[in-house]
Amino acid sequence: MLRWFMGLFAAVWMLSGAAMAAPLSTNRPVVAVIPFGVKAAVSRDITLEDATIVSDYVYDALANSGAFDVVERERLKEIMQEQVLGHSGPVDERTAAEFGRLIGAKYIICGNITGLSTRKTTGEVVGLGVSKSKVFAHVAARCIEVETGRVWLAGRGDGRATNTQMNAPFRIIRIGTDKVDFEQVHKALEDAADSLVNGREGFLKRMRDHERRGED
């Protein structure tokens, strides 16, 4: 009898612990971020694979805001593959709205890299040669309201990142680098995504205002 009681107590304790650990429903609007495309000439020292990660930065910025529930990347990828919406063609208002209804999202965000370029400069500071490579990133996106199928919000974001190399006379000593690298490209894209979402007139502020008006 005692063994049966202890087993029952352990089961109840485990169930209550699981219930406490389960996330509470927040009733936050659900947003899905479709992988961005590339509609720009990309400098030869930047690969297209570097560009497409910008949608991940948009995802992170929205998820970290705590204002929305963002559809998890892997789940989104699986559903898109099942529906053949992945990279078979551009996402327009109609297909995005259909996709949003399928996954229960209120908003769909899709967009493109509209610019990804580099520029190099040289100069001199206190007798040291200075060479810099700058990466400029520009993104454009739109937010589609699933219920109506209309684009009710559009925006742009800009970012840049700089690599700097200092050279002693005759290039005996070099500090830093002026080569375009993976981290620099991603930093510029991350800044562009942050500008798109968190800027003064970014998506986050305008989407929050839209939600507040809907509650009034």
pLDDT band, residue 172 (cuts 50/70/90): low
Q: Which CATH number fits domain 28-215: 3.40.50.150, 3.20.20.140, 3.40.50.10610, 1.10.357.10?
A: 3.40.50.10610
What pLDDT, on a 0 to 100 scale, did the predictor assign at position 141? 95
pLDDT at 113 over 70: yes
Q: State the average pLDDT for the chain.
A: 78
Q: Which residue has the tokens 């304790």?
A: 13
Strand partners, 121: 132
**H-assigned helices in 83-146:** 93-103
What pLDDT, on a 0 to 100 scale, did the predictor assign at position 27? 81
Collapsed DSSP state (helix, strand, coil) of residue 120: strand
Alpha-carbon dihedral angle through residues 27, 96, 99, 59, given to the nearest 10 degrees: -50
pLDDT at 166 over 90: no
Q: What would the two tokens of residue 143 be?
A: 């937010």
Distance CA 102, CA 17 (A): 33
What pLDDT, on a 0 to 100 scale, did the predictor assign at position 176? 73
Strand partners, 159: 137
What are the structural domain ranges in the chain? 28-215
pLDDT tens readout for residues 6-58: 343 333 333 333 333 333 345 889 999 988 888 877 777 776 666 668 899 99
- Beta-strand pair 69-70/107-125: unpaired
pTM of the entire predicted model: 0.75
